């Protein structure tokens, strides 16, 4: 069975396994105070061009959104998100479980619009009854979005400007950030993200790690953040589990012939950068194959997730040979499905898919 | 520097790294529905002699206590624990963060007394004002306790009987369960735990895994437990991370010469059982060495944690060469410290400690 | 200054003050176990034709919504409401503060549509990812709605049928229920509400009481509801405060010449019924006056709240002489405002308004 | 049946009913912005000698403790209280329901000891693991305590000094403050309370009001406190309900012959002061009667609650004629019960009790 279902179906990049093996018996203190977390922090600061940043490692995306937003929001505040935002729809109410409302705005290809955000914030403060309402206390964006789209630098700058003018933190969910940074045509770099956001995370789980997300606070973490992480059940005893992985992901993609070359480097030169670039190459081939077979794209995504609309019969035939994700029912007779590439996708997987599609779409 | 600080200082048992490598590129679905979680579940059911049990894998101990207790408790209920219970003291309020009170009872070598528990429950129900109080809705015990002690089978049976008579679930925190099951003189087996408790977890993080705890509900998990795990931010996308580890830990300790021998087996024959037994062997040597040097034991622990009282000067000298955990200040001039062995402790570590102690305690 | 701002600007109906005086020194137990709460319960059961109902008295509307919904919802569930529902917009996140999401559907004149509700519920259960989403666990409607509109009996029956087919409780916010029951043309009676809803409250604060809402559970209250009320800080020590008021409000509107006539009676024959009817009479006069002055109605409300659109200058002139509520900005030059009548509105207030409008709207 | 069960069995002082009647039809805005709340605020500021204080009116004691502590505490903090503190025992977990732990210290006649508090705080900060623990973020005391005892001025000053040295707010639960201020021998005045505490409430429900507690923040309320009150379901629409009562309670006890004399005045000259003084007079008579009958006092209380130990038979006979509160079982054969006086207790009630005791205790 071919697997294009998602980007977390395999284990992890082999260099991470090597790093685990290499460091396995080194004795280190717990709770993120180990030397691997320190090394990972230094590497990430360099890749983000954010030398003062606090970096904290957590195990998963929903956990990260929950812990970080709960720490950023005051008790009377909620977080503003697009109506399709992961926090609004697919986290089983993890934000509300901490007492905070998700305040939704319309989505445009999965994105928030800075003008609409400003209008919303202005209307809130102008409302004579706003003391009876949930205060907007942070803004959530995902990049890439849940449908694989990307903010342009100008869009991200506009959102950041709105937030800063009102002293509301901008938080970016980078579950697939590696794929966004490597996308063709994007003008957003990791240092841009660090410059424009008040908090964000660099996703590991979906970009080659066994697990883990690196939360970055460019200007420093919220007060007593370790305790807040602990009280959410999110503090890992063996912090090295995450430190080792992110230290490796942010090491140079190319090691020196002498095994050296472990210096700090820019985001695009890291293993993380290389994994993103690989998945995007595979996505471009995938896209070409899907287009060649006449598939209708559900929307235009420049990243590793590709959405196509199939008639229900073709869809059913396809799913017998290829694992893809059901996305949504488009109409009585058609279904949107998602194909995802990842660091683990091989050229031969795309070729095999090409063959299957020929068979399946012939009808 | 010698490391006896805790049992989570190293990575994981090498067989776990091998298992990761072996399964790495196998494509599997997410969120715990992978084949490794299924295999681990079958192995754990066998080891627990609980064929109907639901088994769920989470990443850490505090997270597990938080998620499971929140799922077991009704909104108007709290959990009863010894005043020294981990949930009462060292989880940064993770239980209260979900809205539940920890109701504390006196500890006896870290343990709850069944008679006192029954008296407490009887008094609650007899109190004319109990509708204005937090209802006791679950009982928490740790085994081994926070100070390394163990319940006898009779004690555990008595607690279980009190709980069942009042239809209150008994939950056992088994962060170090592997070390408890292997302790000399214990008459509590894993099937006993499964028979007497309504929920418990088998700790992986401190017993050889990179991370992970296996929650066992012998008679089935609470309703919509996956969603409850998700809303606590505890659902891992790559469930295989945990499935692979527990499948390996509950595989036979001894593999056949032909690489075979992967059948289901009893707890004591698993790798998990062997790791526990090894740490206990090391703990007995450690204990002998400490005794030989005339150390005063803070309390009598049959498991992998050993607590001794040192005068402050000796303590300071010791901590320059050996990493141990500060436990508590005993009086002006004395300090209790904890030595822990683990699956990773080597005989030569004990020998090296012996030498250091000779030097340090001579004064 | 004329006051048409809302229906809670004055104290309470004089008969309530008399009842307080009459009962003042009678010594009664606390926390709702007094004889007045019992009497009020009996009277409300009769008015609802719900002899088995549990009736609980709370002090305010947001408190009631919070306590009742938190008791009805399981931890993994949220409440479905119209996007304009009070719980969704104007309660400062009181529902989310208890950990539950408000799931919003489109509003139609402030109302939920049964067909859309069913479609939403069906889509939820059909979604392959619904375990990652908030489960719909109760449905919230307000009657009258936030904009003064009413469900027809057929509409309410349709909503109730959808809810019962899926075993989801239907909860009705009756902050202004008295005005809804007395509205011209309505075919919904109090026994209908009790028959079709699983929980609802009869608003006192806005219908003649000093404070208080009577929560009715036609088939019995949730488990340990008193304790749940207490843990929300909503249990009043002097329960008589609420019991006395509701016992009076649900006494006959007309007392016998001999001071007798205190028997149980139907909703429309109670003081509560009479207060509602009075406010509606006043609202009809108000409506006629507004129409006579050529006001444009923002929407068509049959209850005690009337919404009109004024040009901004007229609005400003009006607000110098009459207290009305700002509702919303309609466009650059126009504003919608709300006029409310109540049990306390006098015919001469309407006449005085008539005169003011003549002056103000002349421009 | 004689009623000495508690101090909230009757309605309210007649002057409050008069005040309701006098103000009933005056039209005022909602949510605490009415002129009565303003007047009450001015009167309370004067009585507290705290001209900058923010004063907020809530309906009940548990609600007040919950709302105020949740607003004072950071998410990672808990409140320190005596093990017998109302928040620790008798509020059905209302504090934990907002996510905060109650950290208990030993009680001494119901009181916290400043030295023990300082030792606890010092130990917390000295603990190497304190990041894994709940931070002490506020200190709760009740005055009078749950057993009727009082802090001396020196004790309160010592607690305040400990709190201020560590920048932790001191919060005083004054459910029965009126009775404490009027107690014989107390050297604590209302201005002392305002000077030494960072937040406290002046209880109305148990001191002559129908309902209501006045929260005082001598140096100003927490940010967006109205919204925080609203999100706890505690914001009353008809704020006048509370404003009218506290304006009356803090008016002069003696009105001028000309109906005048409504100026601001010191606490002891207010109606609230007079009600406290009356109950204390009655308590002293009660105490004398109990002593005369040879009753053993459970502890020594100078306020309106008197606790005596009776043998079970006498207790049973007593409860057939007098309503008293069960306090606790002392031993097999004896029970402690509570007698309470209040603003409503009449000399003839004490005389009647005298007669009953003669009969009952004769055996």
Buried b (16+ CB within 10 A) or exposed e, D59-95: bbbbbbbbbbbbbbbebbbbbbbbebbbbbbbbbbbb
Instruction: Quote the CA–CA distance of C37 and C239 in Å, as a whole number.
Output: 7
Q: What is the 3-state secondary structure (H, E, C) of chain C?
A: CEECCCCCCCCCCHHHHHHHHHHCCCCCCCCCCCHHHHHHHHHHHHHHCCCCCEEEEECCHHHHHHHHHHHHCCCCEEEEEECCCHHHHCCCCCCHHHCCCEEEECCECCECCHHHHHHHHHHHHHCCCHHHCCEEEEEEEECCCCCCCCCCHHHHHHHHHHHHHCCCCEEEEECCHHHHHCCCCCCCCHHHHHHHCCEEEEECCCCCCCCCEEEEECCCCCCCHHHHHHHCCCCCCCCHHHHHHHHHHCCECCCCCCCCCCCCCCHHHEHHHHHHHHHHHHHHHHHHHHHHCCCEECCCCCCCEEEEEEEHHHHHHHHHHEECEEEEEEECCEEEEEEECCCCCCHHHHHHHHHHHHHHHHC
Q: Name every chain C residue with its beta carbon within 8 A of the beta carbon of B76.
A: 224, 227-228, 231
> What pLDDT is stored for residue D32 in this prediction?
97
Per-residue DSSP letter, A130: G
Beta partners for residue B338, in sequence order: B307, B325
Inter-chain residue contact C238 with D5, CB threshold 8 Å: no
Inter-chain CB pairs, A–B, below 8 Å: 157
Inter-chain residue contact D10 with C24, CB threshold 8 Å: yes
Instruction: Name the neighbours of D, counting chains with at least 3 Cβ pairs within 8 A.
Output: A, B, C
Exposed / middle / buried, residue A143 (Cβ in 10 Å: 0-12, 13-18, 19+): buried
Instruction: Indicate if the pLDDT at residue B5 is higher than 60.
Output: yes
The C-alpha of A30 sits at a distance from chain B's nearest C-alpha, in angstroms, of 7
Check CB contact of B76 with chain D, cutoff 8 Å.
yes
Pairing of strands A199-203, A2-3: unpaired
Check CB contact of A332 with chain C, cutoff 8 Å.
no
Residue B110 Ramachandran class (φ > 0 left, ψ -120 to 50 alpha, else beta):
left
Check CB contact of A33 with chain D, cutoff 8 Å.
no
Instruction: Indicate if the pLDDT at residue D252 is higher than 90.
Output: yes
What is the full DSSP assignment across D321-339? HEE-EEEEEEETTEEEEEE
Instruction: Quote the CA–CA distance of B257 and B274 in Å, as a whole number.
Output: 18
The answer for D 151-210 residues in CB contact with A (under 8 A) is none
> What pLDDT is stored for residue C258 in this prediction?
55
> What pLDDT is stored for residue B258 in this prediction?
54
The C-alpha of D139 sits at a distance from chain A's nearest C-alpha, in angstroms, of 20
If pLDDT is split at 50, 70 and 90, which confidence band does B222 have? very high
User: Can you list the alpha helix ranges (DSSP code H) found in B322-346?
Assistant: none
Tens digits of residue pLDDT in B86-145? 999 999 999 999 999 999 999 999 999 999 999 999 999 998 899 999 999 999 999 999
Yes or no: say if C158 and C258 are a contact pair by the CB < 8 Å rule. no
Enumerate residues 6+ apart whose C-beta is below 8 A from A217.
Answer: A53, A54, A55, A56, A198, A199
> What pLDDT is stored for residue B48 in this prediction?
98
Instruction: Name the neighbours of B, counting chains with at least 3 Cβ pairs within 8 A.
Output: A, C, D
Selected for mutation to probe chain B from C31, C66, C76, C101 (highest B CB count within 10 Å) is C76
Question: Stretch D335-341: mean pLDDT, rounded?
Answer: 96
What pTM, to 2 d.p., does this model score? Answer: 0.97
Phi, psi of A348 (to 5 degrees): -65, -25
If pLDDT is split at 50, 70 and 90, which confidence band does A257 have? low
Tens digits of residue pLDDT in C309-351? 999 999 999 999 999 999 988 998 999 999 999 999 999 999 9
Q: Of the given ranges (A34-43, B260-269, C87-96, C255-264), which has the lowest mean pLDDT?
A: C255-264
Enumerate residues 6+ apart whose C-beta is below 8 A from C122.
Answer: none
Instruction: Name the neighbours of A, counting chains with at least 3 Cβ pairs within 8 A.
Output: B, C, D
Instruction: Quote the CA–CA distance of A340 and B25 in Å, as a whole number.
Output: 16
Tens digits of residue pLDDT in D37-83? 999 999 999 999 999 999 999 999 999 999 999 999 999 999 999 99
> What pLDDT is stored for residue C259 in this prediction?
52
Question: Stretch B257-282: mean pLDDT, rounded?
Answer: 87
Domains of chain A: 13-249 (3.40.640.10), 271-362 (3.90.1150.10)
Instruction: Indicate if the pLDDT at residue A260 is higher than 60.
Output: no
Q: Of the given ranges (B341-355, D134-148, D250-264, D320-334), which has the lowest mean pLDDT?
A: D250-264
Mean pLDDT of chain C: 96
Nearest chain A residue (CA) to B29: A9
Instruction: Quote the CA–CA distance of D120 and D128 in Å, as a whole number.
Output: 14
Q: Name every chain C residue with its beta carbon within 8 A of the beta carbon of A92.
A: 76, 131-134
Q: Which of C90, C128, C91, C124 is nearest to C105 (CA)?
A: C124
> What pLDDT is stored for residue B256 in this prediction?
65
Nearest chain D residue (CA) to C323: D29
Yes or no: say if D189 and D174 are a contact pair by the CB < 8 Å rule. no
Per-residue DSSP letter, A214: E
Yes or no: say if B80 and B134 are a contact pair by the CB < 8 Å rule. no
Q: Which of D73, B93, D58, D218 is nearest to A74 (CA)?
A: D73
If pLDDT is split at 50, 70 and 90, which confidence band does D362 have? confident
The C-alpha of A105 sits at a distance from chain C's nearest C-alpha, in angstroms, of 12
Per-residue DSSP letter, D185: T
Inter-chain CB pairs, B–D, below 8 Å: 53
Nearest chain D residue (CA) to B99: D97
Selected for mutation to probe chain D from C7, C11, C321, C338 (highest D CB count within 10 Å) is C11
Helix/strand/coil percent split, chain B, to 5: 40, 20, 40
Mean pLDDT of chain B: 96
For tokens 């009736």, the residue is C55
- ipTM of this complex: 0.96
Q: Name every chain C residue with its beta carbon within 8 A of the beta carbon of B137.
A: none
The DSSP H or E segment spanning A139 is: strand A135-142
Inter-chain residue contact C134 with A93, CB threshold 8 Å: yes
Inter-chain residue contact A230 with D135, CB threshold 8 Å: no
Q: Name every chain B residue with its beta carbon within 8 A of the beta carbon of A323.
A: 27, 29
Check CB contact of A62 with chain B, cutoff 8 Å.
yes
Enumerate residues 6+ apart whose C-beta is below 8 A from B278.
Answer: B343, B345
Yes or no: say if C288 and C278 are a contact pair by the CB < 8 Å rule. no
Which residues in chain C come in under a pLDDT of 50? 260
The C-alpha of B231 sits at a distance from chain C's nearest C-alpha, in angstroms, of 7
Enumerate residues 6+ apart whose C-beta is below 8 A from B9.
Answer: A27, A28, A29, A30, B3, B323, B342, B344
Q: How many CA atoms lie within 13 A of A167 on its CB side?
A: 2
> What pLDDT is stored for residue C251 in this prediction?
97
Mean pLDDT of chain D: 96
Beta partners for residue D108, in sequence order: D111
Inter-chain residue contact D131 with A230, CB threshold 8 Å: yes
Inter-chain residue contact D235 with C62, CB threshold 8 Å: yes
- The dihedral over CA atoms of B241, B245, B247, B251, expressed in degrees to the nearest 10, equals 160
Instruction: Indicate if the pLDDT at residue B261 is higher than 60.
Output: no
Tens digits of residue pLDDT in A160-208? 999 999 999 999 999 999 999 999 999 999 999 999 999 999 999 999 9
Q: Name every chain B residue with its beta carbon within 8 A of the beta carbon of A59.
A: 59, 211, 236
If pLDDT is split at 50, 70 and 90, which confidence band does A329 have? confident
Mean pLDDT of chain A: 96
Per-residue DSSP letter, A326: E
Selected for mutation to probe chain B from C75, C222, C224 (highest B CB count within 10 Å) is C75
Share of chain D above pLDDT 90, in %: 93
For tokens 């208080």, the residue is C212
For tokens 């505690």, the residue is D234
> What pLDDT is stored for residue D257 in this prediction?
56
Instruction: Quote the CA–CA distance of A207 and A176 in Å, as a whole number.
Output: 7
> What pLDDT is stored for residue B215 in this prediction?
98
Selected for mutation to probe chain D from B125, B134, B136, B319 (highest D CB count within 10 Å) is B134
């Amino acid at each position: 069975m071919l697997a294009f279902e998602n980007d977390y179906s395999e284990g992890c990049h082999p260099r991470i396994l090597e790093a685990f093996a290499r460091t396995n018996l080194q004795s280190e203190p717990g709770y993120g105070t180990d030397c691997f977390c320190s090394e990972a922090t230094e590497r990430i600061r360099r890749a983000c061009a954010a030398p003062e940043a606090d970096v904290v490692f957590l195990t998963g995306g929903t956990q990260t959104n929950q812990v970080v937003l709960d720490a950023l929001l005051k008790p009377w505040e909620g977080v503003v998100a697009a109506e399709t935002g992961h926090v609004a729809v697919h986290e089983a109410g993890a934000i509300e479980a901490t007492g905070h409302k998700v305040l939704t705005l319309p989505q445009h290809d999965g994105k928030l619009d800075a003008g609409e955000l400003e209008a919303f914030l202005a209307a809130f403060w102008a409302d004579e009854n706003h003391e009876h309402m949930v205060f907007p206390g942070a803004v959530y964006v995902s990049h890439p979005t849940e449908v694989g789209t990307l903010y342009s630098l100008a869009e991200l700058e506009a959102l950041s400007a709105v937030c800063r003018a009102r002293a509301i933190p901008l938080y970016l969910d980078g579950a697939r950030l590696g794929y966004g940074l490597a996308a063709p045509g994007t003008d957003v770099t990791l240092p841009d993200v660090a410059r424009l956001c008040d908090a964000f995370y660099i996703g590991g789980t979906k970009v080659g790690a066994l697990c883990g997300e690196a939360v970055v606070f460019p200007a420093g973490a919220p007060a007593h953040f370790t305790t807040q992480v602990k009280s959410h059940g999110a503090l890992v005893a063996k912090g090295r589990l995450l430190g080792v992985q992110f230290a490796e992901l942010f090491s140079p993609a190319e090691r020196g012939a002498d095994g050296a070359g472990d210096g700090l480097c820019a985001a695009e030169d890291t293993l993380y950068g290389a994994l993103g670039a690989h998945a995007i190459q595979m996505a471009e081939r995938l896209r070409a194959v899907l287009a060649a077979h006449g598939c209708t794209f559900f929307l235009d995504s420049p990243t590793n997730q590709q959405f196509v609309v199939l008639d229900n019969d073709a869809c059913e035939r396809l799913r017998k040979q290829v694992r893809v994700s059901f996305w949504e029912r488009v109409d009585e007779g058609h279904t949107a499905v998602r194909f995802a590439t990842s660091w683990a996708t091989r050229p031969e997987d795309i070729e095999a898919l090409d063959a299957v599609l020929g068979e399946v779409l012939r009808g």
